Amino acid sequence: DGGITQSPKYLFRKEGQNVTLSCEQNLNHDAMYWYRQDPGQGLRLIYYSQIVNDFQKGDIAEGYSVSREKKESFPLTVTSAQKNPTAFYLCASSPDGYEQYFGPGTRLTVT
């Protein structure tokens, strides 16, 4: 089955801790993206990567970091510098840089 997986579905952390969200795809897509969604709001782009070993900041990259060492994987680290990390995080991939397909998301709660 081809698709995008994000784990875990729910994640709880204490304030001050870094946390890494997983995103894996077996669609052979070059481009991958991370979005944040707050309750009742739209999507905001955190980081994106068009090719392995390269990534760019999106609109709200502060307090986040990513890596793209493998085509299939694009993990997102939410650092303690992110002031309001509690949110729904969505990962996506794209075959051509335009059309995007999404994973099921991870709901992060930081207390």
64-72 long-range contacts, CB within 8 A, separation 24+: 64/34, 66/34, 68/32, 71/28, 71/29, 71/30, 72/24, 72/25, 72/26
Supply the minimum distance, in Å, between the C-beta of residue 74 and other proteins. Answer: 15
Give me the torsion for CA of 46, 49, 52, 55, rounded to 10°.
Answer: -60
Please work out the total of residues on this chain that contact other proteins, with binding judged by CB under 8 A: 22
If binding is defined by CB under 8 A, does position 92 make contact with other proteins?
A: yes
x/- binding map, residues 39-78, to other proteins, per CB under 8 A?
A: --xxx-x--x-x-------x--------------------
Which residues here bind other proteins, judged by CB under 8 A?
Answer: 31, 41-43, 45, 48, 50, 58, 88, 90, 92, 94, 97-105, 107
